[in-house]
Structure formats: C-alpha cells, structure tokens
Structure 1
Amino acid sequence: MKIALAQINPTIGDLEGNVDRCLAAIEEGRRAGADLVVLPEMVIPGYPPRDILCDPGFVEAVGEATADLAARAREGPPAVVGTVWPSGRHRFRHPALYNAAVLLRGGEAHLAAAKRLLPTYDVFYEARWFLPGPPSAPVEIAGRRLGFLVCEDLWDEEYPLHPPAELRAAGAEALVCLAASPYRRGVLDRRLYHARRPRCPLVYVNACGANDELIFDGRSFALDGEGRPLARLPGFEEAVQVVDLLDKFSTCPTDRLETGPTTEAELFQALCLGVADFCRKNNLPRACLGLSGGVDSATVAVIAAEALGPERVTAISIPSRYTDPRSVTSARALAESLGIGFEVVDLEPLHAAAEAVLGDLLVGTAAENVQARLRAMILMAFVNRYGGLLLNTSNKTELSLGYATLYGDMAGG
C-alpha cells in the first residue's frame, strides 16, 4: 500500500492558503501513485488555533474549508487531514469540538477518528476547546484496514486509555498518526519510542513550520512492523514522500532515524525557521536588533540574517559613555561579514537629556536602568519608522533570573 506522507506548513487562520497547500500535496501524492495521502493534525485551521475556536463563525468557516478541500480533491486519492469537527454535544461556555482526523474520499469528508487523549501540560491546553473523542474503528482503504490516531493518542503510555492497542485489537493492520508535535531537544527519539510500542506498521506525519512561539520540525516517518525505518522526511521544511508501508524491503538507512544528541546545527535550523515563519506569517518585511559586539546579540544577528536574508536585517549599535570602542568595531565587523545593514546611534545626547530632566530621580536602580530604556526607545524608533520586528537579544538565563530591564532590554520578540 502506497502512502504519501505530506508534512506541510499551515498558517493559523489562513483557511484558503492551508487548503491550497493541502490540495498541492494531494496532487503530488496522486502523481506518485499514492493510495492514501496523510497530512498533519489540525492542518486546515492551523495549530494551535487556541481561543479563535470559541468563535462559532470561525468554526463554521473551518468546516466549509474542509468540505471545499474534499470537493476539490475529488479526483485524487483518498486523503486524511487534521481539522475540527463538531462533537454534537453541548458544554457550557465550551466549543465542544473534536480534534479530528477526517477522511476525504469521493468528494466527501467523513470523520475517521477524533483525538481521545487531550494534553493539558506544558504548552498544551486542549481540554479548553476539545472534547475527548469516542473509540474509532479501523477504516478500509485500498484493501487494507488502517487505524487512525491524532498526536497524543500515540503517547498513551501513562494514560488509562490506549488507542493504539484498541485499534490493533479491532483489526487494524497498520496505524496512521496525524501530529502537530512541537520541536524540543531529543523529541524525535521520543516519537520513535512511542511509534514502536504498538509493534505494527506505522505512519507518523508531523507538521512543520512555526506558529507564534511554537516550532514544528516535521521529520515525519514510516516504520515497518518490526520498528525498522521505511522513510523519514527532512526536518524544518515541507516535503511529500511516498512509501510502500507493507514492503519490508524498502527500508531506509537506520541512521536517518536514530538521531542521538541534539546538535547545534539542528537548534540553529529550528531557530531560523521560528524567526522566518513569524515574520512571513505576520507580514513583517524586516527585522532590527541592537548589536553590542557581544555573544548574545551576535548570535541573534546570525540567525536573523540566515532566516530572513541579510538585506532584510538592520543592526544598530548604540554606544554610551561607558562603551569600549572595540564593541562598536566588533559589531561593525560582524555586520559587514553578514552583509546586514548597520547603523550607529550615539546614546550620549539622550542620556545627558534624561539626566537633565530627571535629575535626582536617577539614583540607584533608576540610574542603572535608564540606558537600557533609552536604547529600547532608539531601537523601536527604527522599527516604527521602517516597519518590521525588533528582535530581542537577551538570553534565557537573564530572563529566568530577572536580570533584565522592563521597557528596556526586554523589548522585542
């Protein structure tokens, strides 16, 4: 059975664009002879849509978009997509929706499975919008009985319900999991661990791209019944690949799946994707940042140049009466090396004016913080004048310890 793994990059709320991306992936699967095309969790509305799901008008539009995709994909192979689906139940001040895997076949959309295990930890709060789905039955496609899961349903080890085992007991020959699993260190190894526990052929299709603070790394894969890799898609980019799920001779090299420790290159890819998608999906034409000549701001500058292209990045050096001249020299050299824009704005006139106006107020903490706040004013002036986004150059240690200035070096995203 040939299954197309289609990891695509949806945008939250861009229903038309998301449907077009799905349609293109289904067409690519059709050309490759796929019997089924699998797309990620919540690919129609984008993940996570959060409280926009409390708007009945948006939910209705998602349903219409799903039906539109089904009609437009009529001539293609069956496809399973992640979307919202009405549960038919009522809950006070709750959308009462299913996080659903929906089968598109013959121009119509049918519920294949509703997510049963709703995560409410870390970045997840799905019980706010969704209800747990009922048990689902395997679905016959191209002569094979497939069981469908939605993301957390595969991570059932510490839950009282076990959807993979239930589907296997109901006669599923293989499992198909639609996911929107955010990137974090070591996450691929955890996905593989859970994917191998059912001990049957399994397809796992993950979203890629970034939405707000969440980055989705893709790296979808297929395993045979012994847990051996049949395919793995690349990380941090859209891709479609067709795999014969029941052909034990089509295994790919094992090292394509066993990743080991997270590398700096992988983290760099993730951060670049996060910056690039945040700007693209929010129609931000460029980015600015303060460049001090130190390690933190230099790292942000390198990420920004790679993510957006150097022509869309401007670095601003803001030396003060306390700045070592070598800091500006280092900042300028880095900017020239990266090919990004570079501006120098002397802080002294603003600093002196602040001292003249505020006088005795600038003692202790107030005096220590005034430079950071004046720098933020300069940086935001560039953003207001030329558009785009101010990139923050603090590090997580500083933020965790509270070593930062409110309305100063905490400005930006």
Structure 2
Amino acid sequence: MLKTGLIQPETIPGNFPRNLRTIVELYRSCLDGGAELVLCPPLALSGMHTGELALRGGFRSQHRAALAYLAREITEVPLLLGAADAEGLRFHLLRNGRSFPQEAVIPHSAFCAGSVPVSGVFRNTEEAGFSVLPWASSSPAPCLLLRTPSGAWREGLLEREEQEERRLAQATGLPVFTSRLAGAEGPFLLPGASSAWSGGGSFLGRLRLFERDSAVISPSPPAHQAFSLPAPEEQLRQALRKGMADFILKTGHGCACMNLLESPSSPLLAHLLKEALPSLKITGLIPPLPGIPERNLVRAKALADKLGIYAREWTIPTNTADEGPDEHFTAMWRMRQWAQEEGALPLSALNGTDLMTDSPLLPGALAADFIPLGDLYETELADLFPGHLSPAPEAAIRDSLLASLHRKHESATPLAERLPEREQEIRRLQRKGRASEWMRRKLPPRLLLRSVPGEPETPYVHRLMD
C-alpha cells in the first residue's frame, strides 16, 4: 500500500482563492509527511453547495482557471480531486503543473440517490502516474478504493458509513479510503472525519470531526490513535459549537446579541457561544417585560457577569407601546432595531417545542437571524447538557407528545386511545400543531423547523440552518 496523504479542507462555496489556498497548504503538509499520493475530497475547489452561484456568468470559467492554477502548485506527488463538469463530477489527477482528466465520472443522479460512489485508483507508467476508474467487483485490483460521500452530517451517519467502509475493505482485501469535506457550508454542516482502512479491515486513521485537517496514512495500523468515533452526544455538542462558530465568522459579524430571558435554553446558548467563540463580543439583552419575576432578572444579570457578557437592560417607552400587537412583540422589534444599528447578529435560543407550544414566542423567532438550537427539544437538551437545563415533568410529557404528533406526523386518535386521561391535552396540541404547520409556510426559510407531512424528517439542528 502507498503512503497516502488525506486532506480535508473547509470550503466556502464560490470562494476560489480561499479554497485554493487551503488545498495547497494541506497538500504541502502531506508532502512534508512523505506522501506518494494525496487524496482531496470532490468539490473542494468550488465548494459543495454552490446553489445559484453555479448558474452565474463566469463561475465555470473561474472554476477552470482555479483548477489550472492549482495544477501549477502540484509537484511530482500527484493530487487527486473531483471537479464538476457537464457530465457530473469528474476526477482529475494533478501532477507537475498539469491536469489529467480521468474516465471516472460520478453522475449527478448518484448524488440525488444518496449512494456513496466508489472509485478505483490504479498505478501505471503514464505521465500522471495513476489513473482513476469507476470500480466494480469484477474490475482488476486497484492499489486502493476511494469512497466519496457527499451527505451533510446527521446523527448516526458516520457510524453507518464506517461500518460500510470496513465491510468493503474486508470483502475486497483492498485498502479503502473515505474522503469528505469539513465545516459549515450555508445551511449544511459537513462532517469531515475522513478515514482509511487496510485490506484486512484494520483501522488506519481518521481526520478530525468537522475541522480542516490532513494526515499521511501509512500501511501499518497506528499504535495509539483511538479507533471509535466520538459518542453521538459528543458529536452533537461539537456540531452545535462548530455550526455556530462557522456561521457567525463566515457572515462577518464581530458581535452578537441575544435575549437572556427568552426561554429556558438561553443560558445554554450563552455558554455554547462563549465556548465556541470566546473572543466574540456578546450583548445580553434583558427586557423587563410585565409578568417576568424579579428573580429571573437577577439570574440573567448574574449569568451575564459570570460569562463576561455585556448586559443591556431597558424599559419600553410608553410612546411605542402600541406599535405591535403586544408588549412582547414591541420588545422584540426594538431589540432587532438596536441590533441593526449596532451591526450585531441577533440570535435566538428558541427550539421547535417553544415555537409549537408558545405562540407568543413567535415574534422572537422572527426577529432573530440565527436560531442555533433549532429543532432540539428541551428534554433532549437536558440530556446533552446536564446542569444547564432542568425541564419540569410536564415539559417532558409535552415534548413526548409533540414528538409523536409533529415529528412522526401521527394522528391524535391512537395517542388519545392509549392515553385517555390526556385526550383533551392531546387534541389541543394537535390543533396547535396544525395551526403552526400552516403558519410555518409563511415564515422565512431559516425557520422551516419541520418537514412537510409525509416526507422524511430533516431536523433543523442536523443542518444548523441559518
């Protein structure tokens, strides 16, 4: 087996200069490690989720120019990457300043089907040194197999794919590499964690989860590297932190603000923000609205002092009290107005349960530009972050009902038959669910917290949609 370099860039769709610089830096780090071949994830030049950028004039010419420039930076050690063309995603081998397009093309339909393409990398005596062909069990034996999954991160994805990778290595007796991009691209969080397995099914190495990374994979298994992936709970923690940090940094905001009295999840969001971006200037807004106990105001101020957050408190002027349907809406409107004047990013700590059950909270969601906790329920948050949240028993009952009524789109009748003592509450929740389903169709795309009934669920937190 070759000493193979594996690089894992973080990309920004359409930002060719930045993506180029990242690839070259990681490639050179593999050269320093003695790599004989370097594997780069497909679409590392353009970014994966380019959307309408790919339709704009000049995008393809910029892409071709970036590929030619990258080839000039490649030395004797070849770099393999995939770039989009009219037929799909074509592999290119770059070596000694030249680009050698390969026969291996991943059609667009393969991405739509959700399957993981597998290609064979063959060593030869031609100028490129290697060739890449679509692999099948009847194909000649290559020097390694390359898997190129394209899905965004979600719970259980990496565990399932590594099982498939290991089974493929054991079945073929060939080294198997999986190459992925990392980091956040708009509404998607790319998992990274590119990995390699030997022909006997032994674990050879894995790059970092969600982060830019590179490594040179040797034929012998590592002596000290951990074999197993982080636990699902730890992956979710990292996803929350990485998603928040990437979104805020890539949008160019140097400060953010949030309502410290918005929901029970507000302290958690404040802690996560300080962990992910300790240097970010955060303003904690404390609107003393009617009905808020004094002890909650004291707790919010204490939290701000503990975390080093600037606390801003104000009273709604009487001459603006009639500008919204209620004082809560007026407060949210004024907070957003202040955030725009200060150039701060308005954040919300609301989650799916809040918006489904407490309609007065909807103005807060509409006023925010980013809802990191999104579709997480309070009970799930309490399990993931013990000590930050302690939902009451009735909240757990409410959330379990919501999970059945909204996540699974079940009818309320079977639930009411199983829980006759709670039938009235179940019917009420179903009516609220139907109303919120109608209302969410009128919300901006960043607030699409539920899938359309009858379609597969895509929880918000898994995509960390802005």
Output the TM-score relative to the length of structure 2. 0.70
Q: 1:295 to 1:243 in 2, by over 3 A?
A: same
Pick the aligned partner of 1:114 from 105, 111, 117: 105
- C-alpha separation between the residues in 2 aligned to 1:141 and 1:280? 44
Residues 164 and 139 of structure 1: is their aligned pair in 2 closer, same or farther, counting only changes over 3 Å?
closer
The answer for the alignment partner of 1:213 in structure 2 is: 187
AA at the equivalent of 1:216: L
Task: Tell me: CA distance 1:24–1:119, structure 2 relative to 1, closer, same or farther (3 Å).
Answer: same
Instruction: Report the count of equivalent residues.
Output: 360
Q: CA deviation at 1:316?
A: 0.7
- Residue segments in structure 2 that go unaligned for 5+ positions in a row: 371-466
Question: 2:289 touches 2:328 (CA, 8 Å); kept in 1?
Answer: no
Partner of 1:130: none
Identify if the C-alpha distance between structure 1 residues 400 and 79 changes in structure 2 by more than 3 Å, giving closer, same or farther: farther
Deviations 1:183-241 (A, max 9, x none): 21122111112212323311112111111121122111110112221011121221111
**Range moving further from structure 2, 370-379 or 336-345:** 370-379
Q: In structure 1, give the amino acid aligned to 2:77.
A: P
Q: Does the Cα contact within 8 Å between 2:152 and 2:188 map onto a contact in 1?
A: yes
Q: Which residue of 1 aligns with 2:380?
A: none
Sequence identity, in percent? 24
- Counterpart of 2:52? 51
Structure-1 separation of matches of 2:91 and 2:328: 49
User: Compared with structure 1, are the counterparts of its residues 280 and 23 closer, same or farther at alpha carbon in structure 2 (3 Å cutoff)?
Assistant: same
Query: AA paired with 1:118?
Result: A
Moved more, 77-86 or 225-234: 77-86
What is the CA distance between 1:345 and its match in structure 2?
1.9
1:7-406 alignment to 2 at 5 Å?
7-73=8-74, 75-87=75-87, 98-112=88-102, 113-116=104-107, 117-120=109-112, 138-140=121-123, 164-166=135-137, 169-199=139-169, 200-244=174-218, 247=219, 249-252=220-223, 256-259=226-229, 261-263=231-233, 265-292=234-261, 294-347=263-316, 349=317, 353-355=320-322, 366=325, 370-399=326-355, 403=359, 405-406=361-362
Distance apart, 1:252 and its partner CA: 5.0
Q: Deviations over 1:355-405 (max 9, x none)?
A: 4x67xxxxxxx4xxx233223212212321221311122112234568465
Deviation by residue 1:51-92 (Cα, 9 ceiling, x = unmatched)? 22122411221111011101122x2511112322243xxxxx
Which letter does structure 2 place at the counterpart of 1:185? E
Give the Cα separation in 2 of the matches to 1:387 and 1:202: 48
Q: CA deviation at 1:274?
A: 0.9
More deviation, 11-20/275-284: 275-284
Q: What amino acid maps onto 1:281 in structure 2? A: K
For 2:58, what is the secondary structure of its paired residue? Answer: helix
Distance in 1, matches of 2:330 and 2:267, equals 21
Shift of 1:180: 4.1
CA distance in 1, matches of 2:201, 2:358: 46
User: Given residue 42 of structure 1, which amino acid in structure 2 is its aligned partner?
Assistant: L
Using a 3 Å threshold, how does the CA distance of structure 1 residues 232 and 372 change in structure 2: closer, same or farther?
same
Aligned with 2:90: secondary structure? strand
Q: Deviations over 1:303-362 (max 9, x none)?
A: 222222254211111121211111111111111221122211224x35x7434x67xxxx
Sort the Cα spacing of 1:146 and 1:76 in 2 relative to 1 into closer, same or farther, 3 A. Answer: closer
Residue aligning to 2:425? none
8 Å contact from structure 2 (residues 120, 146) kept in 1 = no
- Output the CA distance in 2 between the equivalents of 1:259 and 1:63: 37
With over 3 angstroms needed to count, the CA separation of the structure-2 counterparts of 1:273 and 1:385, relative to structure 1, is same
CA RMSD of aligned residues (A): 3.0
TM-score (norm 1): 0.78
Against the structure 1 CA distance between its residues 381 and 67, is the aligned structure 2 distance closer, same or farther, given a 3 Å change threshold? same
Q: Which residue of 1 aligns with 2:403?
A: none
CA contact (8 A) 1:35 1:142 kept: no
Secondary structure (helix, strand or coil) at the match of 2:112 reads coil
CA contact (8 A) 1:294 1:327 kept: no
* Distance in 1 (alpha carbons) for counterparts of 2:231 and 2:277: 28
Helix, strand or coil for the counterpart of 1:12?
A: coil
* CA-CA distance at 1:170 after TM superposition: 3.5
Shifted more, 235-244 versus 191-200: the winner is 191-200
Residue aligning to 2:388 = none
- Note closer, same or farther for the CA distance 1:80–1:145 as it changes in structure 2 (3 Å cut): closer
Q: Contact 2:256 / 2:346 at 8 angstroms: preserved in 1?
A: yes
Conserved? CA contact 2:89–2:106, under 8 Å: yes
- Specify every segment of 5 or more residues in structure 1 that has no aligned partner in the other structure, as ranges: 88-97, 127-132, 149-162, 359-365
In structure 2, the CA distance between the partners of 1:313 and 1:11, relative to structure 1 (3 Å rule), is same
